[in-house]
Amino acid sequence: MIAAIRISQTGGPDVLKLETFDPGPPKAGEVRVRHRAIGVNFIDIYHRTGLYKLPLPTGLGLEAAGEVEAVGPGVSRFNAGDRVVYASGPIGAYAESSNVPADRAVAIPEGIAFDIAAAVLLKGLTAHYLLRRTYPVKPGQTILFHAAAGGVGVIAVQWAKRLGASVIGTVGSDSKVEIARSLGCDHVIVPARENIANRVREITGGKGVPVAYDSIGRDTFMATLDSLAPLGLFVSFGNASGPVPPFDGALLAQKGSLFFTRPTLMHYVTTADELDAGAGELFDLIRRGDIRIKPPRRFPLAQAADAHRALESRQTTGSLVLVP
Ligand code: NDP
């Protein structure tokens, strides 16, 4: 039997309950991972509130790092004792251990601690596909990245700077401005007291940006549209403030023949090769110190609700992990 956080109804953080259950042995193609650190991601909040629907009751969480403690039939990718991290489920990472398809996990290189691996894989793979594949950022371009001091933001801002971009970041409060600057943001906007689109126009000499990465959703939708240069790309990859409202496609024409995409990591990492390539690049950048990751804020597994409260009330910067 193992302890796990599970929900039997959607709602606020109080629906997260610590329970015990038997996950059984790993099936063919699976490994059992004994978790040492569990990544907390905003998508876990969407699952908890029901914005993204899951069949109930269910576990929660997509990401964890730990040791392989048992190997199912047919697995050659890992052996017992290997250090691994996974970031695309199956749902239920908020637990002492989990059975995971071996081809969804990657080896953790030497020199990367479990809590760092659990803090960066999902968010780093996201930064990778956003900046390298959804819109390949080129040197000298100015880009807009919202929630620049958040989990994905901390990695994406540093990665964009490595790619030679100039970065305009937004943060929710003055206390996060210095953090965004220390990551490399060339300009930091605090939307609570500044007009995002006006500032972006000012910074870009009236042109607007060729790409804007928006994970805030409802609250920033219009401002992000108004920040784009003609033919610019709106990358809507999250809904921290609520989903983007339905809109008329003609709006994209009016605002400058804009493009709009709503990507999700799952479609960018469909094979073990894609996973290994993205993770390899991410871990190399971290090991070389080109992307600096502070030790994540830690919460005991049993206090997952507190981690959710901190994340959804915008009190956090960087990543959070749960520790079983
Ligand atoms: P973050 O650590 O970035 O936390 C979310 C941040 O959003 C907050 O810190 C806050 O920063 C900002 N925010 C703005 N408005 C609100 C609001 N009303 N309520 C809460 N937060 C708000 O989380 P993650 O790094 O886990 O994820 C970042 C975003 O990326 C999420 O929207 C997530 O869903 C999305 N995502 C999408 C993926 C995809 O493939 N599509 C994959 C991974 C993540 P501030 O106070 O500075 O504004």
Substitution site in 130, 189, 216, 265 for ligand 1 pocket (most atoms within 8 Å of beta carbon): 216
**What residues form DSSP beta bridges with 95?**
4
Q: What is the pLDDT of residue 13?
A: 98
Helix (H) or strand (E) holding 66: strand 63-71
Count CA within 13 A, CB hemisphere, residue 263: 21
Instruction: List the domain boundaries for the chain.
Output: 2-120+269-323, 139-262
Q: How far, in Å, from the CA of 184 to the mean position of ligand 1?
A: 19
Q: How far, in Å, from the CA of 298 to the mean position of ligand 1?
A: 18
8 Å CB contact between 233 and 258 = yes
8 Å CB contact between 291 and 11 = no
Name the DSSP letter for residue 108.
P
Atom of ligand 1 minimally distant from the CA of 42: 26
- Cβ neighbours around 141 below 10 Å, total: 17
* Pocket flag, ligand 1, residue 311 (CB < 6 Å): yes
Q: What is the pLDDT of residue 318?
A: 98
* Pocket flag, ligand 1, residue 97 (CB < 6 Å): no
* Pocket flag, ligand 1, residue 179 (CB < 6 Å): no
* Class (C level, CATH) for 139-262: alpha beta
If you take atom 10 of ligand 1, which residue's CA is the nearest one?
A: 314
Helix (H) or strand (E) holding 290: none
What torsion do the CA atoms of 231, 224, 241, 40 make, to the nearest 10 degrees?
Answer: 70
The two beta strands, 105-107 and 83-86, are antiparallel
Residue with tokens 């190997």: 71
Substitution site in 62, 215, 274, 293 for ligand 1 pocket (most atoms within 8 Å of beta carbon): 215
Mean pLDDT by 10 residues, the chain (324 residues): 97 98 94 98 98 97 98 97 96 98 97 97 98 98 98 98 98 97 98 97 98 98 98 98 96 98 96 95 96 98 98 98 98
* Protein fold of 2-120+269-323: Quinone Oxidoreductase; Chain A, domain 1 (3.90.180)
* Pocket flag, ligand 1, residue 123 (CB < 6 Å): yes
3-state secondary structure of 16: coil
Report how far residue 32's alpha carbon sits from residue 206's, in angstroms, rounded to the nearest whole number. 54
* Pocket flag, ligand 1, residue 191 (CB < 6 Å): no
Q: Order across the sheet with 187-189: list the strands.
A: 187-189, 166-170, 142-145, 209-214, 228-236, 259-261
Helix (H) or strand (E) holding 187: strand 187-189
Name the phi and psi angles at 271, rounded to 5. -125, 160
